Chain A
Amino acid sequence: MKKPFDLNAPYQPATFAFPDKDVVTEIISRYPEGKQQSAVMPLLDLAQRLMGETGATSNPVFGGWIPRAAMDTIAETLGMPKTKVYEVATFYSMYNLAPVGKFLVQVCATSPCWLCGSDKIRKACESKLGIHAGETTKDGMFTLVEVECLGACVNAPMAQINDDFYEDLTEARTIEIIDALASGKQVPAGPQNGRTGSMALSGATTLTDRVKA
C-alpha cells in the first residue's frame, strides 16, 4: 500500500527546526568526512520522534510523522537536493509522511502470522477501534495498518505498536492491550502468552545448561 501523503495539506507546518542542534551535529559526526548525507536516515527518524513528542501533548493527540518542512530542513542541513530526501522518506515504510494516531498498530499479515490467525487479530482491532486497516480513530489515539513480515515469525501472530513488538497475540489479549494503552497504562512488550523470547512455553528445551529461564 502506498504511503498516504499530501504536501499541501492544512496540517503541514510551515517551518520545522530541530530544537537541539547538538544532537543533529552529533548524528552528522558519526559519518566520515564527505559522507555526511548518510545522516539523512537518522535525522528523518529524529524528526519523526520529535513530532511524536509534540503530538503526545497536543489536542487531539497524534503520533510521530515527518512534515514536508522537516524534509526540506534536513536537505538544507546536509546540503543535498530536497528530492533525494523525499526519495528516502517515501522508500522506507517506517517513515510516516502524514499524521498518524498516537499508537500506530501494525498487524503483520505475512504467511506465518496469517497461518497462525493474523486475520482474527486484525478483525479484533477493527471491531474494537471501529476503523478499517489504514484508518485512524477520530480521537487520534490509534492508527491501524496491515504490514508485511516484521521478522517475529516464531512468535506469530504479532503486531508492532509504536516501537514495541507484541507477540503471540490472541483476540482477547489484543483487545486488552488496546484498552490498556488507551487508558494510559504501560503494557510489557514481547510475548503475551507468558513465554520468554521465542523459547518454548514450558521453558528452555535446548542449551539448558546455559540458559536460566
Chain B
Amino acid sequence: MPKLKINNVEIEVEKGTSILQACEMLGHEVPRFCFHDKLSVPANCRMCLVEVKPGPPKPQASCALACADNMEVFTDTPMVKKARTGVMEMLLINHPLDCPICDQGGECDLQDQAVGYGYDRSRYYENKRAVKDKNFGPLIKTVMNRCIQCTRCVRFADEIAGTAELGMMHRGEESEIDTFTGAPIMTELSGNLIDVCPVGALTSKPYAFQARPWELRKTETIDVMDAVGANIRIDARGNEVMRVLPRLNEDVNEEWIDDRTRFAYDGLKRQRLDRPYVRDAATRRLRPATWDEAFGVVAAKMKASRRDKIAGLVGPLCDAESMMALKDMIGENVECRTEGAKFDASVRAGYIFNSGIAGIEKADAILLVGTNPRWEGAMVNARILKAWRANKRMKIGVIGENHDLTYPTTYIGAGPSSLENLGAFGDVLKNSKNPMMIVGMGAFTRADGVDVHGLCRRVSEQYKMGFNVLHTAASRVAALDMGLTNDDLSIADMDVVYLLGVDDAEAIDQIHHESFVIYQGHHGDIGASRADVILPGAAYTEKDGIYVNTEGRVQFAKQATWPPGEAREDWKILRALSAVLGRPIPYDEVNALRSRIIRAFPNFGHLDVLMPAKWSKFGGEGNVDKAPFVSGVKNFYLTNVITKASLTMAKCSETFLKRHDSQAEAAE
C-alpha cells in the first residue's frame, strides 16, 4: 500500500493505483482526454500532466504513473499549469473552431478544458489539417477534422466491443482513425463510441443538429429492450424523447448500452396508438372510439363470457404494476411466456440469472446453452468478453447456434444430446472452480422445454455450475415472480383474450378466429391488427414502473414524457375497466398497487438488490428431443414493437445484417 502526498495531503492507496486516480480520490480534478476508467491506458494525450517529486524535473503523465511510496505530487503549481496550457495549445492547432455547429458543444471535454487551460488567442496562422470523414454506418456521424487522436474509440472497439475494426492509420500529421476497409463498424455496442469520444469527432447521426444538452430534461430510468435492464438516462425536450444515454451501474451495464437501447427511441414517435379503437360490427374494420364506448364493448363481452373462458397475456415490455392489475382483474388465466417458452416457473432459482451479471467476472468456465448472448443480452456478452480478457485461459462452451460472440468459444453441439454428453468440455468444467451455465430462451422454446429445463438443472448440479437464465423480455422475471403463468392455459379455447402489449405471432396465431381480442398497448403492430378493441397504453418512457431484470434485480423506471393523445398509463386503464366490469380492483392509486405487490411478493420491496433464490428441484425428468436449439432473436435490431417502428433500427438491420448475410453467402 503506497503512501504518498498529493498537494501536501497524505493518502494511502491500493498498489497499482495511478496518480490520476489518487488525485480524484482527494477531489483534485485532473484534465484528461485519452484516459478512460474502463479502457487501457495509452497516455497519448498528455493533458493529465502533474509535477512529481522525486523524479526528473519535468511534468509526468499522471494516468500512466503508478503511485509509489514517498512521492510528492502537485496538481496546481505554475509548472503544471504551464505544461497543460502547452498541451492544450498543441491539441487546438488542428482542431477546427466549429463549436457553434458541433453536436458535442455544451458537453465537450475539449471545450470544457479549453476554458481552464486554453489561451484566449491562437499563435498559429497556418492552415489547419483536413481529414476526410468516414462512413461508420447509420448510427455514427463522423467529423474527423475534430479528432484529437486520443484513441479511446480504437480501444473501446478492441477491448469492450471485441471487434477490432478501428485503427489508427498512417502516422504523424496524416494519422487518422479509420476502419481502412471503408466498412461500417459491425458491433451492437457502437453507440458507445459517441460517449467515449471526448470531442465532436464521433457524434450520433439520428441526434445530429436536434438539440443542445442544456435544453434537455434528464430522467434517470431503466431500459426495456432486453431483460438486462440497463440503466439509462432519457433526455427529452417538451414531450419528445431526444436521445437515450447510459447511466453508470457497475452491477448491470457498467457505463455502456447497446445500440437498440440507445437508438430505438424514434420508434416511440411512430405507429403509436393514441386513442381507443373498436372493430365495427358491420364493416369489420377498426374505427376510432371514445374510452367509454371501448370500455362498454369490452365490459359487455367480458360480462357475457364465463370467467374461465377469459385469458390475459402479457407482453415483453410491461411494467410490474400493469401485470399485477391484469392478474387481479382476470384471475388465474394469465400467461407471460408468449413467445412459447416452456419451463418450470415454480422455483425462483430456476428462472433467474442467479450468479448476477457482475458475477460473470468471477467465472472461470462458462457453458452457453441455447443462447446467443450477443443478441439476447449484449451487456451480458460484453461482460463475458471482459471476463475472458481478464483471464484468457477461461473456456467458454457453446451448445446451440454457433455465432461469433467476439471471444473464442468451444463449440460442443447443436442440441440437448450435447448437453447430456459434454465430451472434453466436461473435464474443463470439472477442473474449474467457478463454472457457470447460461441458458437462453432458445433452450426452452420447444415442446420439451420443461424437460430441457430439468436436464439443465441436473447438468449444472453435476458440474457444480452456477445456474443462470438469460431472458429476452424485460417484463418476464417480474411476471414470473408474481405468478403470471398457467401451464394448463389453452389460448385456443378462450372466448375473450386480453393482450397486454403482446405482439408475438406465436401467441396470436393460437387465438381462435372467433375469440374476442382486446389489445392494450402503445404500438400498432400485429397484436393491434388482430384486436377487436384497442386500448391505448403508455410506452416505457411514459410511465413510472417497476421492472425486474433477468438477475431478479428490482429496478424503478421513471416517467420522462407523457403518453400521446388519449393514451393512459396501463394500470389506470385496467383499474378503470375493472370498475366498468363491476368488480373494481382494490386500489385507487399507484402506491397502493405497489404496496399490494410488495405485500404479496416481498422481493419487490428491495430495489436494486439481488435477493438470493433458494435452490430446489425444478424441471421435468422426461426424455428430450434431439432437435437443435434455436435462438429466439433472429434480428437484433427488430425485436419488439418499438424497434419495429424505428427507422433507425430499420436502417441498422439493412446495413449491418444484410451485409453480414451477403458476406456469409460469399464465404459459402
Contact = CB atoms under 8 A, between A and B. Distances in A.
**Taking chain A's interface residues, is the majority helix, strand, or loop, or is none over half, making it mixed?**
helix
A163 B84 CA distance: 44
Nearest to B168: A87
A8 B166 CA distance: 18
A90 B164 contact: no
A81 interface: yes
A3 B179 contact: no
A2 B180 contact: no
A202 B169 CA distance: 48
B174 to A, nearest CB: 4
A193 interface: no
B121 interface: no
Contacts of B180: 7, 83, 86, 90
Given A7-B182, A83-B180, A2 B170 contact: yes
A144 B17 CA distance: 52
B335 to A, nearest CB: 46
A83 B170 contact: no
Given A7-B180, A7-B181, A7-B182, A86 B174 contact: no
A83 B164 contact: yes
A28 B660 CA distance: 32
A130 B167 CA distance: 37
A41 to B, nearest CB: 14
A81 B181 contact: no
Contacts, number: 33
Interface in A85-109: 86-87, 90-91
B182 A86 contact: no
B171 interface: yes
A84 interface: yes
Nearest to A75: B164
B166 A91 contact: no
B165 interface: yes
Nearest to A2: B174
A83 B174 contact: no
A81 B164 CA distance: 6
A31 to B, nearest CB: 18
A90 B158 CA distance: 19
Given A7-B180, A7-B181, A87 B174 contact: no
Size bracket of the B interface: 10 to 19
Given A7-B181, A7-B182, A84 B164 contact: yes
Contacts of B158: 81
A83 B166 contact: yes
A171 B165 CA distance: 47
Interface string A1-18: 011000110000000000
B404 to A, nearest CB: 13
A90 B169 contact: yes
B170 A90 contact: yes
A86 B169 contact: yes
B182 A83 contact: no
Nearest to A83: B167
B235 to A, nearest CB: 33
Nearest to B170: A90
Contacts of B164: 81-84
Contacts of B182: 7-8
A72 to B, nearest CB: 10
Contacts of B171: 90-91
A7 B168 CA distance: 17
Interface string A47-87: 00000000000000000000000000000000001111011
Contacts of B168: 87
B577 to A, nearest CB: 56
A90 B166 CA distance: 13
Interface in B155-203: 158, 164-171, 174, 179-182
Nearest to A71: B180
Contacts of A90: 169-171, 180
A84 B167 contact: yes
A82 B171 CA distance: 18
Given A7-B182, A83-B179, A91 B165 contact: no
A3 B180 CA distance: 13
A90 B167 CA distance: 10
Nearest to B165: A83
Contacts of B167: 83-84, 86-87
A2 B180 CA distance: 14
B289 to A, nearest CB: 57
Nearest to B179: A83
A87 B169 contact: yes
A81 B161 CA distance: 13
Contacts of A2: 170, 174
A98 to B, nearest CB: 14
Contacts of B165: 81, 83
B326 to A, nearest CB: 49
Given A81-B164, A84-B164, A3 B181 contact: no
Contacts of A86: 167, 169, 180
Contacts of A84: 164, 167
A195 to B, nearest CB: 34
19 contacts: A2-B170, A7-B181, A81-B158, A81-B164, A81-B165, A82-B164, A82-B181, A83-B165, A83-B166, A83-B180, A84-B164, A86-B167, A86-B169, A86-B180, A87-B167, A90-B169, A90-B170, A90-B171, A90-B180
9 tightest Cβ-Cβ pairs between the two chains A and B: A81-B164, A83-B167, A86-B180, A87-B167, A90-B169, A2-B174, A91-B171, A90-B170, A83-B164
Interface of A: 2-3, 7-8, 81-84, 86-87, 90-91
Given A82-B164, A87-B168, 13 more contacts: A7-B180, A8-B182, A81-B165, A82-B181, A83-B166, A83-B167, A83-B180, A86-B167, A87-B169, A90-B169, A90-B170, A90-B180, A91-B170
